[in-house]
Structures are given as structure tokens and as C-alpha cells.
Homo-oligomer: A and B are copies of this chain.
Amino acid sequence: MSDALLQSHEFFSFLTGKVSTAISRRLQRNLKLAKLNITSEQWTILYHLWQEEGLTQQELANLTFRDKPSITRLINNLEKISLVIRVNDKQDRRSNLIYLTKEGRRLKEEGMKQSAITLSEAVAGLEIEELRTAQHILDKVFKNIK
């Protein structure tokens, strides 16, 4: 790689989170505007549970690329606000299966809507082809360092 690019602050700063920080903040703001009192991090957990309930904390950790302690605490907080419950797995008593509460399920529609809005704000004016390209490239980066 060229030194010019290596030294490019712009390049490094987007890799180190400028864009994703901006997206999280925007999602957070949109959730708040829609009266959803959840953080963007909580959203990422709920997102996966909206697709499939009964995931273990380890599975959630893998899906959201967080470590186990982070998941423990996110689930603690989500339980505190009564959006999910831990159910001890009878088959494997080490595991907790995480389920949505009725209220947790109720948030799906608005939660998905706000994330879709956020995403469309983010990618406004971009071509599908550009998005595919960016995704492809970032995927390679991720594989390099995950």
C-alpha cells in the first residue's frame, strides 16, 4: 500500500469509526424521536431477537461481535426495562435462552421502521452498486482483522 494512503488521516478516521459513530447517533436520535426508549446497542440485540427468539448469550455475542460480558450487561439492562427475559436452558444448564417479552415484541415494528429510516438517510443518493462495492471491501477488511 502506498505511503500516501497510509498517512491519510481521512482514511484512518473512517476506519476508526467516524461513519459508524455517526450512524449509531442517528439511529439513537431516530429511536428517541419515535418515542422508543432504547439505546442503539440495545437495538442491535433486539434486532436479532426479532428475527429469532431463544438465542443464547453466546450466540448474541457472535452475532453482534461483542464479548460475553458486554452481552451479559446488555441483557441485564434489557431485562430491567422488561423487554427480554432469560430462560435457563433445560438441556444445557450453563446457557440462558433469551426471549422477548410481549412489550419487546411490540417494539419490533417501530424499531425496524426507525432503522430502515436511518439506513435510508445514510445511503441517500448512493447507487446500489456503490453500496455493494463498499460492503464487499469492508468485508475484506473485516476478514483481515477480526
Contacts and interface: CB of A to CB of B under 8 A. Distances in A.
Contact of A133 (B22, B23, B133): B133
Residue with the highest number of chain B CB atoms closer than 10 Å, among A5, A14, A27: A14
A18 B137 contact: no
A124 interface: yes
B125 A10 contact: no
A72 B125 CA distance: 36
Interface in A88-127: 115-116, 118-126
Assembly stoichiometry (copies): 2
A120 B1 CA distance: 7
A140 interface: yes
Interface residues of A, number: 55
Nearest to A120: B1
Contact of A123 (B1, B116, B128): B1
A110 to B, nearest CB: 16
Interface in A5-43: 5-6, 8-24, 26-27, 40
